[in-house]
A = this chain, B = another copy of it.
Amino acid sequence: MSKAIQELTILKEHLTKHNLKLTRQRENILTTFLKMEHVTAEHMYRLLAKKDPHIGLATVYRTLKLLCEAGLAKEHHFGTQTQFDNVAHKGHHDHLICTDCGKIVEFENCQIERLQEEVATRNGFTIKTHRLELYGLCATCRS
């Protein structure tokens, strides 16, 4: 089973479970979404408008939110931009962001995660989510 089909299956199951319908727009948005790592709603809208000039911006926003609910996407707020992250085949990770060229590198560091838990426990908190973003210059932009 190819990855794209597997993700379409996940979406279909989510739709069925919530009495929602599979539409041409939802399929198109998923297909385009799966081709990239991170994408903004506006960017997706412009990509889709090339194929279907009548796609609505509201539909793009609604569907990206739907993909989050189905567990296929994850929303990240980097600076002023809201990026949707293709997470179906990824575990948890945080991000390094180049403030010059916008390059995004994903990383995972379980030592940091463990220390976060420690901090929370020490303060009587139970962590539900966290957000760790490192902003700076990538190797290319530094030189």
Contact = CB atoms under 8 A, between A and B. Distances in A.
Copies of chain A in the complex: 2
Contacts of A98: 125
Contacts of A127: 134-136
Interface stretch (A9-17, A44-52, A63-71, A110-118): A110-118
A81 to B, nearest CB: 12
A41 to B, nearest CB: 16
Nearest to A117: B134
A142 interface: yes
A136 B111 contact: no
Interface of A: 77, 96, 98-99, 105, 107, 109, 111-112, 115-116, 119-120, 123-139, 142
